[in-house]
Amino acid sequence: MAATDLQAFAANGGDATMVGNKISEMQQVRAHIARANQLAEAGGNPHEQKKHVDEALKMCTDSVELLTLSSRASLALHNNEQVIMDTGKLIKMDRSNIPALALRARAYYQIGELDSALKHLREGLRHDPEHKECQKIYKLLRKVDRSLKNAEGDWSEGKWEDAVSGYKGALKHDPDHKVYQVQLNLKICEAYKNLKDGAKATEACSKVLAADSRNVEALLLRSEAKKLDEDFQGSLNDVQEAKKYREGDRGIDQKIHEAQKVLEQSKRKNYYKILGVKRNASDREIKKAYRVLALKHHPDKVKEEEKKKSEEIFRDVAEAYGVLSSEELRPKYDRGEDVSGQAQNQNQGGFPGGFPGGQQFHFHFRL
């Protein structure tokens, strides 16, 4: 219709050159739209679709059809900022444009802004409660929202296992969500670290790093998780890798220093291994392990020919207990500080609580 009007304008003495240029532009726009639609229907390359749409938009900036095509192609390319900008224009032109509201909701969801996504979907469903695209997305997002809110409530109360379950539930509803793969697995990693489960914390952080290899927070958390499992070299490697991406962070410098000291310490005398407990052992587990080993290796309880070896073992066991049972020394030891001198003063003979049956034995170290 516009081409016909332009031709009539030229026939009545109008500028024929201008008319010819306008008609040529219109033909180019139609060709780009046709090709973009053809690619979209065939599930073609979104980069190619966007290329044709962008060329057409240069000549027809406010076309609803073109802005919609641009939004769909940008969404497929995860260019969410472009989607939000294009759909913003569409909604400004027509606040009841439901496809634009749905596309905008998808873009907000892809960048992790769930509340904004739900807000736009509710607006779309207000105009048309039966709109299939809005209904489908809304149902998914409501499931994710419930899982996240439950997880966040449990997190705030320190219910780490329940929080993990909630975050995993959100990921299960949408396992391909790029932002949540990072954000929620970071939460899962930290929760497992709080539970002193190094293996599961490491696994969760590794999922983050598979999606974002330069994620400093994941590297630092995984370093702590590996330390729980006594992978001291791996712990140092992770914190050194984090330093590459945050060179001016003095806090990371301190973590590198501590990780190096812990690694060096592990090559000398490992108090946790001496007692046969994990690095995340509770005070009760440490005391129990000490009592068993001290009873087994106490020089007064072994044969004469075994006394020398038992004295050495008993000395190490007592020294290990002296550090790991101390609220002051254990944190220092865990940071890689040398506490051996202080350890010997912690347990200069005597068995905590005595042996079963009330019998008391004493052993004074020959230092």
Q: What is the pLDDT of residues 244-293, one digit of tens each?
A: 999 989 999 999 999 998 888 777 778 888 898 888 889 999 999 999 98
The whole-model pTM stands at 0.70
Task: Indicate the pLDDT class of residue 342, thresholds 50, 70 and 90.
Answer: low
| Residue 33 pLDDT | 67
Long-range contacts of 145-150 (CB under 8 A, 24+ apart): 145/114, 145/118, 147/173, 148/114
* Alpha carbon 245 to chain centroid, angstroms: 17
CATH of the domain at 224: 1.25.40.10
Query: Is there a single domain that holds both residue 305 and residue 279?
Result: yes
Task: Indicate the pLDDT class of residue 359, thresholds 50, 70 and 90.
Answer: very low
Final residue in a domain of this structure, among 235, 268, 301: 268
From 127-141, 301-315, 348-362, the region with the lowest mean pLDDT:
348-362
Look at residue 286 and tell me if it is in a domain: yes
Q: Please name which of 200, 270, 196 lies closest in space to residue 232, comparing C-alpha atoms.
A: 270
From 60-74, 84-98, 181-195, 207-221, the region with the lowest mean pLDDT:
60-74
| Residue 365 pLDDT | 39
pLDDT at 61 over 70: yes
Q: How far apart are CA 352 and CA 309, in angstroms?
A: 22
Query: Is there a single domain that holds both residue 237 and residue 181?
Result: yes
**Alpha helix segments (H runs only) across 174-249:** 178-194, 198-211, 216-228, 232-245
Q: How many residues does the chain have?
A: 367
Final residue in a domain of this structure, among 218, 249, 268: 268
When divided into structural domains, the chain yields a total of 2
Long-range contacts of 53-62 (CB under 8 A, 24+ apart): 55/28, 56/28, 56/29, 56/32, 59/25, 59/28, 59/29, 60/29, 62/89, 62/93
Query: Is there a single domain that holds both residue 247 and residue 278?
Result: no
Q: How far apart are CA 347 and CA 286, in angstroms?
A: 14
Q: Which two tokens stand for residue 199?
A: 């293996």
pLDDT at 105 over 60: yes
Query: Is there a single domain that holds both residue 185 and residue 262?
Result: yes
Task: Indicate the pLDDT class of residue 360, thresholds 50, 70 and 90.
Answer: very low
Query: Is there a single domain that holds both residue 199 and residue 181?
Result: yes
Mean pLDDT rounded to a whole number for the chain? 84
268, 320 contact by CB (below 8 A) = no
| Residue 355 pLDDT | 40
Query: Is there a single domain that holds both residue 233 and residue 260?
Result: yes
Look at residue 240 and tell me if it is in a domain: yes
Query: Is there a single domain that holds both residue 283 and residue 327?
Result: yes
Residue 321: domain span:
271-358
pLDDT at 239 over 60: yes
Provide the angle, in degrees to the nearest 10, between the axes of the packed helices 80-93 and 64-76. Answer: 160
pLDDT at 30 over 80: no
| Residue 364 pLDDT | 44
Query: Is there a single domain that holds both residue 277 and residue 255?
Result: no
